[in-house]
Structure 1
Amino acid sequence: MVTISLAMIVKNEEKNIRRCLNSVYGVVDEIIIVDTGSKDKTKEICSLYTDKVYDFKWIDDFSAARNYSYELATMEYILWLDADDYLLPEDVIKLKKLKKNISSEYNAIMMKYVTGLDSKGNETFSYYRERLTKKSCNFQWNEPVHEYLDTSGPIGESNIRIIHGKKRKTALKSGRNLKIYERYLKEKGYLSPRGTYYYARELKDHNRIKEAINQYELFLDTNMGWLEDNIAACSDLAKCYFEINLDTLALTTLFKSFLYDTPRAEVCCQIGYHYQEKEEYERAIYWFQLILTLKMPKNCWGFMQPDCWAYIPLIECAVCYDRLGDYKKALQFNNRALKHKPDSIQAKRNQDYLQKKLSAL
């Protein structure tokens, strides 16, 4: 059995930190807390779980703070969590099992990061992050914001899920990440390809659409991005083009995503929605039905929206066939959607509506 240090950086997380630490307390062998300037009771709460609570002067660099936390870790492996992350009981069991059986050949273990759940607890958005790494490898965090661990060597994949809860105050509202990027640009004059991609996302989220377009295009032109980031950038860039009514450029960008890998359901949904909004229902149906022939990529660590691979195309095919007056086909697709999501209020309402339409014929 290996030993694990939990390394965290925190600030003003008194409303989140208990849930996080409670979920892994007793499983990890050491808890390292690096506080970057809390004004609330975060440090007091953390002190109930560990005596290893340290201060770090904030310098607008998440990687610097995380690297400091990793330097303080003393166990064989290091696990990182944010204060609004937590593990469900079934995933705690999996973590205990991994701790007992992990192969020494792996330098790092990827875990699923679930950032979206519906009211029933089903995943709506997820991707993978490097979560558990060997201390002896001395892997370093990079980038001042939207940081990542630069890992190498054999990397394993676990089905352990890390759930991301909502923060009390989001970085988007404060503009924190955008300010960090702009300060970095002012001082350094450039961003890495990955930094350019995430800077574009921040600009888009702050509705600075034309600036976001410029950065997305710059990122894609480097041809240096991770495949999954390239696909996500095409999707986001298309949204920006649609926002300013450049539909042809938007569609061209979505089609460009197919150059990186087989078509993704999330992208095909965007195309289908576009034609649906234009009331070109047969073209919309083509793209929604195409999704039902696709296979979800294996070992994909990028952004995934499970509903886009079955439920959404089925329910939207039902909507499109209804608009075309083919209620029988609409009901067939809606029933298939119900099988995927038996508790779907929309599908249940559609079913009642379509059955009445058919009985009136």
Structure 2
Amino acid sequence: MFTISLCMIVKNEECIIERCLDSVQHLVDEINIIDTGSTDRTKDIVQNYTSRIFDFTWCDDFAKARNFSFQQATKDFILWLDADDVITTEHQQKFLQLKQSLYHPNVDAVSMDYYVALDADGCVESSEKRFRLVKRACNFQWLGAVHEYLDVSGQLYHSDIAVTHLPLKKDAHRNILIYERLKKEGHLFSARDTFHYANELKEHQRCLEAINQYHLFIDTAKGSVDDNIQACLNLADCYQQLQDSKQATQAILQSLLYDRPRPETCCRIGQFFMEQLKNKEAIYWYSQALQHPTETFGIHKRSYSTWLPHFQLSLLYNRLRLYENAQQHNEEARRFKPNDQRILDNRKYLLSQLKN
């Protein structure tokens, strides 16, 4: 069995740090906490779990902080988490099984699902894959001042373990302020920096600036397939905010240049035809969304391949008075969203139509 060092960077996490460490302390062999300037009780709480607490002077660079955290590790593998992450009981068991069964000399990095957001019922709304467990001897490095990523290579293993993100409200302006400081200082943005800067501008409703940055990113032709597709879909959102439907539609169609149609793209095209009352065309595209599950390292918004296309198909078949088809798709949607009032109301309506 291999040994594991947990490495975390934290600041003012007194409200959530116990929740995270309680979920993982029995899975690892060492806990390294890198504090970047806490002024609350974070350090006092962490002392109940480990004496390996290190100070790091914050310099607006997440990669530098994470690389410093990795330098403190002494075990075979490094696990990294944020303070607002937890590993649920189900996935703790999977983690222990992996630790006991994985033939680690042949593995350099292990990916895990990251449940980015949950809905009101606790179901996964969006997720992505991240390399969470890496061999210390490989000396993998973090890159990027903001939206940093771990540059891994070698023998990769994809697990079915998940880490769940349970965030508290944070400083919404932190990342964009770092990007704008770097821009002002003349820092040359990589394609990835440009993409994430555009995302921050979009989040702050600065649509015209975001559109410019998305176009700059796409024009580099250096982005990953996933980021190029997401840039096109985010562009569509920005144009829609500006009430430019033509440009929004063109941006959605541009996403088809990079890969087979993703569920989100299919649903957006389906919505376009649905609004035009072209029911059969809309049915085709929503049906396609159910045929193309997303298996990538990009963000997977699960609604686009589960309940949403089923619900829209139910509405479309209702338009065509094909009530049995409509009811079948509504039941599929209800399986994913059992408490959604729109689905429940539609169910009541369809059952009455079938009786008639």
The one-letter amino acid paired with 1:14 is: E
**CA 1:253–1:177: 2 relative to 1, 3 Å:** same
1:116 match: secondary structure: strand
What is the CA deviation profile of residues 184-236 of structure 1, one whole-angstrom value per residue up to 9, with x for unaligned ones? Answer: 11113421111111000000000000100111111111111111111111111
Within 5 A, what are the aligned runs for 1:94-109?
A: 94-102=94-102, 103-109=104-110
How far apart are 1:121 and its partner, in Å? 2.8
Partner of 1:246: 244
Partner of 1:47: 47
The one-letter amino acid paired with 1:218 is: L
How far apart are 1:305 and its partner, in Å? 2.1
The one-letter amino acid paired with 1:69 is: S
How far apart are 1:95 and its partner, in Å? 1.3
Partner of 1:312: 308
Within 5 A, what are the aligned runs for 1:347-358?
A: 347-358=343-354
1:130 match: secondary structure: strand
CA distance in 2: counterparts of 1:57 and 1:272, whole angstroms: 50
Q: Tell which deviates more after alignment, 138-147 or 94-103.
A: 94-103
| Contact preservation (8 Å) 2:14, 2:45 | yes
Superposition TM-score, scaled by structure 1 size: 0.92
Q: Tell which deviates more after alignment, 191-200 or 282-291.
A: 282-291
| Contact preservation (8 Å) 2:261, 2:292 | no
How far apart are 1:323 and its partner, in Å? 4.5
The one-letter amino acid paired with 1:181 is: Y
Within 5 A, what are the aligned runs for 1:118-197?
A: 118-167=119-168, 169-172=169-172, 175-197=173-195
How far apart are 1:42 and its partner, in Å? 0.7
CA RMSD of the aligned region, Å?
1.9
Partner of 2:298: 302
How far apart are 1:325 and its partner, in Å? 5.3
Q: Indicate yes or no: 2:202 matched with 1:204.
A: yes
Structure 1 residue runs of 5 or longer lacking an equivalent are: none
How far apart are 1:182 and its partner, in Å? 0.6
How far apart are 1:137 and its partner, in Å? 1.1
Superposition TM-score, scaled by structure 2 size: 0.94
The one-letter amino acid paired with 1:330 is: A
The one-letter amino acid paired with 2:68 is: Y
CA distance in 2: counterparts of 1:259 and 1:17, whole angstroms: 43
How far apart are 1:94 and its partner, in Å? 1.4
Identity of aligned residues (%): 44
CA distance in 2: counterparts of 1:207 and 1:164, whole angstroms: 24
Partner of 1:222: 220
Within 5 A, what are the aligned runs for 1:250-269?
A: 250-269=248-267
How far apart are 1:284 and its partner, in Å? 3.0
Structure 2 residue runs of 5 or longer lacking an equivalent are: none
CA distance in 1: counterparts of 2:25 and 2:4, whole angstroms: 11
Within 5 A, what are the aligned runs for 1:65-84?
A: 65-84=65-84
CA distance in 1: counterparts of 2:18 and 2:113, whole angstroms: 21
1:188 match: secondary structure: coil
CA distance in 1: counterparts of 2:240 and 2:150, whole angstroms: 34
What is the CA deviation profile of residues 37-61 of structure 1, one whole-angstrom value per residue up to 9, with x for unaligned ones? Answer: 1111111111110001111111111
| Contact preservation (8 Å) 2:194, 2:213 | yes
How far apart are 1:277 and its partner, in Å? 4.4
